[in-house]
Amino acid sequence: MEKLIQVKNIHSGYHKKEVLKNISFEIEEGEFLGIIGPNGSGKSTLLRSLSRVLRPLKGNIYYKGSDLYAIALNQIARDFSFVAQDTQVNFPFSVWEIVLMGRIPYLSRLQPQSAADLKAAKESMSITDTLKLAGRQLNDLSAGEKQMVIIAKAIAQEPKVLFLDEPTSHLDIGHQVKILNLLKGLNRDKKITVAMVLHDLNLAAEYCDRLILLDNGSVYKSGPPGEVLTYENIEEVYKTLVIVNKNPVSGNPHILLARKNIP
């Protein structure tokens, strides 16, 4: 079977400044993929490149076997949903209005939302437990509530692929787990392929089927968490000492910081 997304020798960056160097990998349909790496290693740049937000300087990306840039934009707008790291909304939209915006790729010009659009929006708010926030303004919500609403909007779009950039940073552990469990459930029940940048290595180990570890714009290692999150790989890429144990419940790697002796 054709891979869902194929990345072939891409170089990406900004104003000719190359950030990603010669990256190749594939994403399978139904996969739950994590992208990890130190600050500035190019994780967000890679996610933007995969999702057609940022056109690579060189190389090709294929979606369902076709060149990503040869596919009609409205098709990509339906199939791909992108949750950015810090969503800012500079207008007092209500939560309901924000979630309905997820349906924009399905509307033709000046056409009001259909019953199916309203149903998809309501359902996504029900799954994310945000119906109770419907009348509130997005900017008045807590970080955890806000992130749930942004994810509700992304789900209302009924995407095939969901890209998320550090969806759980700034959230407490309860909200981190709530969001990742929700994404895992969508991946399993609605067969949404998930590609996500994660900052927290332990969350990445616990939730992702496969990890891509970036180092300075290149893929340092890719594979299941047990193969990628070894102390050798982490120490080399993050330049810090760690101890890698096994999570006693899941058997996944569990990373502990090891403080160097302070002189």
Q: Is 56 in the site for ligand ADP (CB under 6 A)?
A: no
The count of chain residues that interact with ligand ADP, using the rule CB under 6 A, is: 10
Q: Is 30 in the site for ligand ADP (CB under 6 A)?
A: no
Q: What share of the chain is helix, strand, coil (3-state, %, to 5)?
A: 35, 25, 35
Applying CB under 6 A, the span of 21-29, 39-47, 225-233, 241-249 interacting with ligand ADP comes to 39-47
Beta-bridge mates of residue 197: 35, 165
Helix pair 143-156, 115-127: axis angle to 10 deg:
140
Q: Is 168 in the site for ligand ADP (CB under 6 A)?
A: no
Query: How many Cα atoms within 13 Å fall on the side-chain side of residue 93?
Result: 15
Tokens of 197: 């940048």
Q: Which does 193 bind (CB under 5 to 8 A by kind): ligand ADP, Mg ion, none?
A: none
Whether the Cβ atoms of residue 34 and residue 196 lie closer than 8 Å to each other: yes
Q: Is 185 in the site for ligand ADP (CB under 6 A)?
A: no
Q: How far is the CB of 112 from Mg ion (least distance, A)?
A: 37
Q: Which does 45 bind (CB under 5 to 8 A by kind): Mg ion, ligand ADP, none?
A: ligand ADP
Q: Is 44 in the site for ligand ADP (CB under 6 A)?
A: yes
Whether the Cβ atoms of residue 21 and residue 13 lie closer than 8 Å to each other: no
* Helices (runs of H) and strands (runs of E) counted in the chain: 9, 12
42 vs 246: CA distance, rounded Å: 28
Applying CB under 6 A, the span of 34-42, 59-67, 185-193, 224-232 interacting with ligand ADP comes to 34-42
* Backbone phi, psi, residue 20, to 5°: -100, 135
Q: Which does 39 bind (CB under 5 to 8 A by kind): Mg ion, ligand ADP, none?
A: ligand ADP
Whether the Cβ atoms of residue 124 and residue 152 lie closer than 8 Å to each other: yes
Q: Which CB atom, from 45 or from 81, has the smaller least distance to ligand ADP?
A: 45
Q: Is 40 in the site for ligand ADP (CB under 6 A)?
A: yes
What's the one-letter identity of residue 193?
T
Q: Which does 41 bind (CB under 5 to 8 A by kind): Mg ion, ligand ADP, none?
A: ligand ADP
Q: Which of 44, 124, 157, 193 binds Mg ion (CB under 5 A)?
A: 44
The candidate with the shortest Cα–Cα distance to 195, out of 81, 69, 52, 102, is: 81
Q: How far is the CB of 42 from ligand ADP (least distance, A)?
A: 4
Q: Is 45 in the site for Mg ion (CB under 5 A)?
A: no
DSSP run (H or E) holding 131: none
Q: Which of 31, 34, 42, 192 binds ligand ADP (CB under 6 A)?
A: 42
The candidate with the shortest Cα–Cα distance to 2, out of 66, 78, 77, 80, is: 66
Q: Which of 4, 31, 43, 157 binds ligand ADP (CB under 6 A)?
A: 43
Q: Which of 5, 10, 19, 212 binds ligand ADP (CB under 6 A)?
A: 19
Which residues contact ligand ADP (rule: CB under 6 A)? 14, 19, 37, 39-45
